[in-house]
Amino acid sequence: MVGSFYLIVALIAVALIFDFLNGLHDAANSIATVVSTRVLSPGIAVIWAAFFNFIAFLFFGVHVAATIGTGLISPEVVSWQVIFGALMGAISWNLITWWGGIPSSSSHALIGGLVGAGIAKGGGGAVVLPGIVKTAGAIVWSPLLGLVLALFLWLAVSWLVRRSTPFVVDQRFRVLQLVSAALYSIGHGGNDAQKTMGIIAGLMFAEGMLGEEFYVPFWVVISCYAALALGTLIGGWRIVKTMGSKITRLKPVQGFCAETAGAATLYLATWLGIPVSTTHTITGAIIGVGAARRVSAVRWGIAGSILIAWVVTLPAAALIGALFYALVSPF
């Protein structure tokens, strides 16, 4: 059954709420390094990050949105029920992991939910293989690339500053960290907002609201970037209270390397139209920076348990997505 107008509007609202929650959830990543090095106060850091999340819309196209909307599950299969399943799967898994205190990727939850609901409706044939393959591949290479880029950036920076005093290096990189934090927030906004855009546009396309060709209406673009930025803004205030011990001890020069490496990886993924986990990418970069100093500086035990949550997310969200789809499929 074709969804009624109000149903579609409701689903779009849910998608935007998901986007907002995404920003809330990830706010800490955007500001963690720049706050732990005390370059910015938490309040200003959050505004800085939210601003650059938003203006990212000027820099990126909609390739990631197209992948989400039409490149994972074939458009013929997508319906409002599938989108409902996808969103509910993602939101449920986010809530479960939030309640359980497990770090997980909202992006992976969304992709998992979408794939689960799509397969529940259309079976294996519903899947668009190229999209799935490049997304699955990016799950592995995006944190690894973040790590490797951070390592080599650290190497380059070390050679450049080898004759400087620690004090001068600190001062210079406190300023440069403003730049790298901005670059990272742009990358974060660019990749994450597009996922929700893809969901909304995919829904609208499936319900015939976009005509013959898939495209992303401008109001969808702006509202997704805005929802994400708003989430970052408000999420930041919550993070301010619980920060402290969780944030790794980084010096400005290390924060700069991690954020720049993360940003570069995100730009590449976004340019290739691949949805990736911004959390995992920046985590990879921070691990790279830690390992560059000393391999023992990285708490590999914790990294391992994060890996497990990571692997579980996609199938778990897919399952929940399929269940929610089944719930509404009779309608």
Partner 1 sequence: MLRWFYRLMPRQGMFFPLFERHAAVIVTAARALREMLKGGDQVDLRFKDILRLEHEADDIARDVLLGLRTSFITPFDRADIQSLITSMDDSIDQMQQTAKAIVLFETTTFEPDMRAMADAIVEGAELVQRAVSMLVNLTKNAAELNEICLQITRIEGEADDMHERGLGRLYQKAKAGDAMEFIRGNEVYNHLEKAVDRLDDVADEIQGIVIEHV
244: left (phi over 0), alpha (psi -120 to 50) or beta: left
327 is a site residue for partner 1 (CB under 8 A): no
Min CB(20)–partner 1 separation in Å: 40
Number of residues interacting with partner 1: please give it, by CB under 8 A: 17
Selected from 167, 211, 219, 244, the binder of partner 1 by CB under 8 A is 167
Which range binds partner 1 by CB under 8 A, 7-15, 219-227, 288-296, 316-324? 288-296
307 is a site residue for partner 1 (CB under 8 A): no
Read off the DSSP letter of residue 2: P
10 is a site residue for partner 1 (CB under 8 A): no
296 is a site residue for partner 1 (CB under 8 A): yes
Min CB(174)–partner 1 separation in Å: 15
312 is a site residue for partner 1 (CB under 8 A): no
Helices (H), 37-79: 42-55, 63-66
Q: Which long-range contacts (CB under 8 A, 24 or more apart) does 6-9 make?
A: 7/80, 8/80, 8/203, 8/204, 8/207, 8/209
Indicate the helix (H) or strand (E) that contains 147. Answer: helix 129-161
How many C-beta atoms surround the C-beta of residue 234 within 10 A? 15
164 is a site residue for partner 1 (CB under 8 A): yes
Residue 231 or 290 having the CB closest to partner 1: 290
Min CB(166)–partner 1 separation in Å: 5
Residue 58 or 295 having the CB closest to partner 1: 295
Compute the distance between CA of residue 323 and CA of residue 251 in angstroms, rounded to an integer. 46
Min CB(295)–partner 1 separation in Å: 6
Min CB(276)–partner 1 separation in Å: 24
Sign of the CA dihedral running 156, 161, 166, 171: negative
Amino acid at the residue 162: R
Following DSSP, what letter does each residue of 239-266 receive, concatenated? HHHH-STTS----HHHHHHHHHHHHHHH
Which range binds partner 1 by CB under 8 A, 19-27, 118-126, 151-159, 302-310? 151-159
218 is a site residue for partner 1 (CB under 8 A): no
Min CB(258)–partner 1 separation in Å: 16
Min CB(170)–partner 1 separation in Å: 9
Min CB(77)–partner 1 separation in Å: 45
Contact 254, 154 (CB under 8 A): yes
Min CB(154)–partner 1 separation in Å: 9
Which range binds partner 1 by CB under 8 A, 104-112, 153-161, 200-208, 230-238? 153-161
Which range binds partner 1 by CB under 8 A, 83-91, 133-141, 159-167, 208-216? 159-167
Compute the distance between CA of residue 232 and CA of residue 227 in angstroms, rounded to an integer. 9
Residue 273 or 288 having the CB closest to partner 1: 288
Selected from 58, 99, 165, 218, the binder of partner 1 by CB under 8 A is 165
Contact 90, 110 (CB under 8 A): yes
Sign of the CA dihedral running 143, 43, 16, 190: negative
159 is a site residue for partner 1 (CB under 8 A): yes
Q: Which long-range contacts (CB under 8 A, 24 or more apart) does 151-159 make?
A: 151/288, 151/289, 151/291, 151/292, 153/257, 153/260, 153/261, 154/254, 154/257, 154/288, 154/289, 154/292, 155/292, 157/253, 157/256, 157/257
169 is a site residue for partner 1 (CB under 8 A): yes
Q: Which residues are at the interface with partner 1 (CB under 8 A)?
A: 151, 155, 158-159, 161-167, 169, 291-292, 294-296
